[in-house]
Amino acid sequence: MSENTMFYQCLTDFIFVEHEPEKADMIFVPGGNYPEAALHAAKLYLEGFAPYVMPSGRYSITAGKFDSPVYGTECDYLCDILLREGVPETALLRENQATYTYENAIYSRKKADELGLTVRKAILSCQAFHARRSLMYYQEQFPETQFLVCPVVTRGIGRDTWFLTENGIDTVLGEVERCGAQFHQIMREHMQKI
């Protein structure tokens, strides 16, 4: 970052969460119609970082469908990528109900519980600009789990580039807004439980 953009650093550090991968119980892939997160998850799986990959997603709630003549759901699309990259079917734990990020976490938790899986440590393979919000949702649903965010840059929006284009600025500041706005209800629900 140049000197005249240093004041963006706090936003950059907040949104672009990233960890080195470590051995884990699971790799989670929040839904979407972009291949990069699934490709990255396949690489991590093949390098032996986790025995399972759980792609999640039905379709985007805003679109109301997954716009593909080949795949019925985002999960189907992501699984096809994972299979083509060498991840065996036996390692795929499919979650195909979620229509937005919070549901990715909710339904992934339900699927893990249905399968009787204990997830002590997990890798989250997501878009770089989506890292913080994805992490917050998955942490909320898996409070006992240590998450390692291993993101991938998509649409050219990364830690060192987001502030260089209007699309990057709009995307990242939109994530900042959603991190606040979408957590109001979640926080209120947690307060009621205390």
At residue 148, the 3 state secondary structure works out as strand
User: Which residues sit opposite 54 in a β-bridge?
Assistant: 28
Q: pLDDT tens-digit profile of 30-82?
A: 998 899 999 999 999 999 999 999 999 998 888 877 888 788 899 999 999 99
Cα–Cα distance, 97 to 29 (Å, whole number) = 14
**pTM, entire model:** 0.93
The angle that helices 74-84 and 36-46 make with each other, rounded to 10 degrees, is 40
Q: pLDDT tens-digit profile of 145-190?
A: 999 999 999 999 999 999 999 999 999 999 999 988 888 788 888 7
Q: How confident is the model at residue 5, as a pLDDT? A: 60
Residue 103 has pLDDT above 80, yes or no: yes
CA torsion sign for 154, 160, 163, 165 is negative
Residue 4 has pLDDT above 70, yes or no: no
Q: What distance separates the 2 farthest-apart alpha carbons in the chain? A: 51
Amino acid at position 179, single letter:
C
| Calculated CA dihedral for residues 102, 105, 109, 112, nearest 10 degrees | 150
